[in-house]
Chain A
């Protein structure tokens, strides 16, 4: 009985057709459908159409995206510890594409930038308030001086000099420490490779784009040329036909003189 069900195929049985088209039907089922398709024009058409649709589907490619997600390596990082010890929000940032512009600046560079901004703020503050004598009444924390400086310069030049000295020292220290903190060569190489790959991809796309443009221009040109040739050819043909007509009529006149009763 089951054999009967398996080996019977009726037109419009989409499910059976799918197992057939994707090669997932049992041998008996496959033979039955193949036999039916060989005999039934409608089903043969359908199978062919599905085949050509699937061929067309193969051309769909997703747009290129730089991916390169990586989990940062951590000491003693085990999934258990990760998922149990940390709330999800904290782990939500651990995956990120290792693009160079997404990487945080090294600490010494951040510090240097902070110093530059801070110092310029102070300078502006001092210049603006240069006419009234500096009050320096309270020992304001240095880091709030930028906002305080609009009303009162809260620091003296000596303090500034001291600060500068201290920061220079710290920056020098960090700079000395920086090479140690930089990434291991492997990670560096990987990043360089990624950058190179990205750049190659870009160039390739650029090249493809240009080539496509050239092909388009070329085929336009060819079409115009073809049209021109066709036009000239047409004109020549018309002239040739005209000449032929003249020759024919002349020949007729020679063959059947005006006096003849056979003038067509």
Chain B
């Protein structure tokens, strides 16, 4: 009863809107996640996601199955993200919106882990997000496609329109920056956690 993407695409091309809606249902989460990780804003990522499906639907007659439907959708999404980033070039995108709640950040996942782990992971999620924002767009996009969407170097090269070696370099450089950044943030976090300790130290000293 479950159709493959290709089957759903073929049915959509014959004018079956429900089939396309199934494709949307199947891909909207990954597409939204991709847009969010690349451009870093919730509402805009949502808009990009919607626009991507709209464009895909309109361009459906021209889609001959030369690529996977998902790759094609990713390409449309990345183009939209790139346009958005270009428009926003003057405004820095490197800060979180003011009302971002760290606890909200990872709320989408069910609490199958312990609460301590959950809270820790949410803090880490914010730290990672912050570090990712510091990367140049191409590096960030390459890492997002590799780490969160499991693409091969070749697929990323096709999507980014660059040689294979460039993709690897982008990943390597991006990961190196992230590593330094996360180590630094990790230290900060440890120091912050250690800030609770002086109470104890003081008490011991007083005795």
Contacts and interface: CB of A to CB of B under 8 A. Distances in A.
B199 A227 contact: yes
Instruction: Classify chain A: how many residues form its interface, as a range.
Output: 35 or more
Given A22-B153, A62-B37, A82-B57, A57 B178 contact: yes
B200 A14 contact: no
A214 to B, nearest CB: 8
B12 interface: yes
Given A63-B107, A95-B54, A54 B115 contact: no
Contacts, number: 172
A71 B109 contact: no
Contacts of B125: 59-61
Contacts of A96: 50
A88 B124 CA distance: 42
Nearest to B154: A24
B196 interface: yes
A72 B17 CA distance: 8
Given A79-B61, A230-B203, A62 B172 contact: no
A231 B168 contact: no
A96 B21 CA distance: 12
B32 A67 contact: yes
B98 interface: no
B14 A78 contact: yes
B70 interface: no
A157 interface: no
Interface in A64-102: 64-65, 67-74, 76-83, 88, 91-92, 94-97
A19 B57 CA distance: 36
Nearest to B146: A22
A226 interface: yes
Nearest to A97: B50
B172 to A, nearest CB: 3
A8 interface: no
A134 interface: no
Contacts of A91: 54, 58
Given A19-B168, A59-B121, A74-B17, A79 B57 contact: yes
Contacts of A81: 15
A208 B169 contact: no
A76 B59 CA distance: 17
Contact of A63 (B53, B105, B121): B105
A67 B48 CA distance: 12
Interface of A: 14-15, 17-19, 22, 24, 49-50, 53-54, 56-65, 67-74, 76-83, 88, 91-92, 94-97, 201, 204-205, 207-209, 211-212, 215-216, 223-224, 226-227, 230-231, 234-235, 238
26 contacts: A14-B169, A15-B172, A53-B182, A59-B121, A59-B124, A60-B129, A62-B42, A63-B42, A63-B105, A65-B32, A67-B32, A67-B49, A69-B49, A69-B53, A71-B57, A73-B17, A73-B18, A79-B13, A91-B58, A95-B53, A204-B107, A211-B111, A215-B116, A227-B203, A231-B204, A231-B206
Interface of B: 12-15, 17-18, 20-21, 24, 28-29, 32-33, 36-37, 42, 45-46, 49-50, 53-54, 57-61, 100, 103-111, 115-116, 118-119, 121, 124-125, 127-129, 132, 143, 146-148, 152-153, 165, 168-169, 171-173, 175-176, 178-179, 182, 196, 199-200, 203-204, 206-207
